[in-house]
Amino acid sequence: MYPSVQFLINGVWRDGNGHGEPILNPATGASLGDCPFATEAVLDEALAAAEAAFKTWRKTIPLERARIMRKAADLVRERIEQIAPILTLEQGKPVAESRVELTYAADIVEWYGEECKRSYGRIVPSRNPDVRQLVTHEPVGVVAAFSPWNFPAVTPIRKMAGAIAAGCSIIIKPSEETPATCAELARCFVDAGVPAGVLNVVYGQPAFVSEYLMRAEAVRKVSFTGSVPVGKLLIRQAAETLKRTTMELGGHSPVIVFDDADIDQAAQTLVAGKFRNAGQVCVAPTRFYVQQDSYERFVSRFAELTAAIKVGPGIEPDSQMGPLASARRVEAIEGFVRDAREAGGTVVTGGEKIGNQGFFFQPTVIRDVPDTARVMTEEPFGPIAPIVPFKSFDEVVERANSLQLGLASYAFTSSARTGHAISEAIEAGMVGVNSLAISTPETPFGGIKHSGHGHEGGIEGLEAFTNLKFIAAG
């Protein structure tokens, strides 16, 4: 079921040269195959192919780009049942979640393809009647993109589809832990007719590949999804050649549940959102603040629903939560639980590793955790939900905004006035009120503060791959 992983360079699928590392199945810890690692020669070929392809692809009319992308989206949809098990094998999430992710990926491709036909400029009224003033969008150039392992379809497809729709060429490096999903999606673009060199896929040791591509003058745009420290490093490297950057650097999303909320409905919604992909979601609800009069009822219901989650290999159809991605993620979550306990928190349910095969961890709920505990200050990126009480609106706003992370946040209330007030007061790039649905192809996805800058999705995501040009024509 698991394919041989190859590079895509200048329209040709190629094997590596024997250097690489095993790709592990997180449900078993066994090897699925090998991920080849790029050498300088491979990266030079990818750069040359992307640079040459950009010269012609940038001139391809939007109508033709849209036609190819519509075909690519159709191919993704046709191949969902083929690709979903591959995604699950290398990443771990349940097959049902993999299907949803691939469906969303296809929607992203289709939306960007349609939107590139509407990459409008504008005419600015001139002070001189003999001069016409135009503002236009032009593709920025060769793009280098880096994506992580937690959403191996959606994260790379946002970068590939946005760049290709804008008229750019792209070299993408997906995570070496989940390379095959990105390769299968790239195959859909190739089979749809994307010209050779417009899309190139490489893998390799992250620091080596990123540093090499960041030095290349041919690369004019960098799109990265990952950790804050790596994002800061890439920004510093980009400064050397003044590359444009889009940085999505994770978050630690506060959830605020007010007394007037529908507590049962909020608990059901939040359990589903918290433990999706075993909590390995950058916009997952991660810090739970519940108003004091509803606190006991919410904790009880949330823990009850959490304890009922069936954990197992994602490839099994009845599994509701799969394994963590790696052994290091299990160790990290064990550390968060241990620290929360030592700080005075109480584990209501879960808190332990499951079995000795694969990287499974119990869905975990911890109550009464002090704000100074690591799980309240560092993004846990796993199936652990700390829940604490609050008294007043002003108090919870201060606590929710206390971190230098601002990707997503959520609030639950039956009051339109409170919903408006909290959405205005929270410092985040995205806010969901009585909903976790903050990510769609047509809306901007991005954060503020140390969660990064720039956007993917929406018209903002397309414009991220373009330069503005002002033309004064007399």
Catalytic residue among 282, 427, 456, 463: 282
- Hey, which residues does 35 pair with through a beta bridge? 21
Whether 147 contacts 161, CB under 8 Å:
no
Look at residue 64 in the predicted model and tell me its pLDDT: 98
Whether 114 contacts 147, CB under 8 Å:
no
Look at residue 23 in the predicted model and tell me its pLDDT: 97
| Confidence at 143, pLDDT banded by 50, 70, 90 | very high
- Respond yes or no: is residue 168 known to be catalytic: no
- Respond yes or no: is residue 110 known to be catalytic: no
Read off the amino acid at residue 325: A
Catalytic residue among 248, 427, 456, 463: 248
In angstroms, rounded to a whole number, what is the distance separating the alpha carbons of residues 11 and 196?
Answer: 4
Q: Which two tokens stand for residue 1?
A: 């079921």
pLDDT tens string 47-102: 999 999 999 999 999 999 999 999 999 999 999 999 999 999 999 999 999 999 99
Q: In what order do the strands lie in the sheet with 199-201?
A: 12-14, 7-9, 199-201, 169-173, 142-146, 219-225, 244-248, 452-453
Return the H-helix or E-strand segment holding 390.
Answer: strand 384-390
Mean pLDDT of the region 41-45: 97
Query: Residues near 290 by Cβ (< 8 Å), separated by ≥ 6?
Result: 257, 298, 299, 387, 388, 389, 390
First to last CA, the chain: 62
In angstroms, rounded to a whole number, what is the distance separating the alpha carbons of residues 412 and 410?
Answer: 7
Read off the amino acid at residue 460: E
What are the C-alpha distances in Å from 426 to residues 29, 177, 284, 408, 433? 41, 35, 16, 9, 11
Mean pLDDT of the region 466-474: 96
Domains identified in the chain and CATH numbers? 7-249+451-473 (3.40.605.10), 253-440 (3.40.309.10)
Look at residue 17 in the predicted model and tell me its pLDDT: 82
In angstroms, rounded to a whole number, what is the distance separating the alpha carbons of residues 421 and 304?
Answer: 31
Helix 416-425 × helix 393-400 angle, to 10°: 30
In angstroms, rounded to a whole number, what is the distance separating the alpha carbons of residues 26 and 315?
Answer: 11
Whether residue 19 is predicted with pLDDT greater than 90 in this model: the reply is no
In angstroms, rounded to a whole number, what is the distance separating the alpha carbons of residues 444 and 175?
Answer: 23
DSSP state of 177: T
Mean pLDDT of the region 373-396: 98
Whether 92 contacts 106, CB under 8 Å:
no
Strand-strand pairing, 142-146 and 169-173: parallel
Neighbouring CB atoms inside 10 A of 292's CB total 11
Dihedrals φ, ψ of 189, to 5°?
-65, -45
Look at residue 429 in the predicted model and tell me its pLDDT: 98
In this prediction the pTM is 0.96
Whether residue 18 is predicted with pLDDT greater than 80 in this model: the reply is no
